[in-house]
């Protein structure tokens, strides 16, 4: 019985690890529910793939938006402010792009969703390692 409990815990840990792999942020932006996933958790110095899913008020996936990702680090001693942006490409229901984070530390990320002449923005912070 005890052995079974231990085995169950190990299996749960493995399953949990597999599902909690991506770095994930869920936020509202205007009328949209936005889920942002980064394939490195924590995000790393170097290339990180970012995926964005957007649902509208009727809980349908939005596939006709233009989605841009801006990522920046404010100036710090010995380093000027760094600002980058990248386009995304729609694959299925997910807008995909690549962020190249050039140094470790805190990055500001802004996902800009433009549709019908309006732009909604999701902002969050990641700590790159």
Are 42 and 128 spatial neighbours (Cβ–Cβ below 8 Å)? yes
Are 68 and 87 spatial neighbours (Cβ–Cβ below 8 Å)? yes
User: For residues 89 and 67, what is the distance between their CA atoms, to the nearest angstrom?
Assistant: 8
> Would residue 83 be called left, alpha or beta, if left means φ above 0 and alpha means ψ between -120 and 50 degrees?
beta
Of the pair 101, 111, the CB lying nearest Cu ion is at 101
Q: Which of 67, 73, 99, 122 binds Cu ion (CB under 5 A)?
A: 73
Of the pair 65, 73, the CB lying nearest Cu ion is at 73
User: For residues 11 and 36, what is the distance between their CA atoms, to the nearest angstrom?
Assistant: 27
Q: Which of 61, 79, 87, 98 binds Cu ion (CB under 5 A)?
A: 79
Q: Shortest Cβ distance from residue 105 to Cu ion (Å)?
A: 5
Q: Shortest Cβ distance from residue 9 to Cu ion (Å)?
A: 41
Of the pair 74, 92, the CB lying nearest Cu ion is at 74
Token pair, residue 94, equals 């997910």
Query: Does residue 38 touch Cu ion according to CB under 5 A?
Result: no
What residue ranges bind Cu ion (CB under 5 A)?
A: 73, 76, 79, 103
């Amino acid at each position: 019985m005890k052995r079974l409990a231990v085995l169950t815990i190990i299996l749960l840990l493995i399953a949990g690890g597999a599902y909690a792999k991506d770095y994930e942020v869920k936020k509202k932006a205007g009328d949209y529910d936005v889920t942002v996933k980064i394939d490195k958790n924590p995000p790393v110095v170097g290339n990180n793939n970012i995926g964005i899913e957007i649902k509208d008020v009727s809980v349908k996936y939005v596939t006709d938006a233009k989605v841009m990702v801006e990522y920046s680090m404010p100036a710090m001693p010995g380093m000027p402010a760094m600002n980058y942006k990248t386009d995304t490409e729609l694959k299925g229901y997910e807008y995909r792009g690549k962020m190249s984070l050039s140094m470790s530390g805190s990055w500001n990320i802004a996902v800009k969703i433009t549709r019908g002449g309006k732009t909604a923005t999701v902002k969050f912070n990641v700590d790159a390692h």
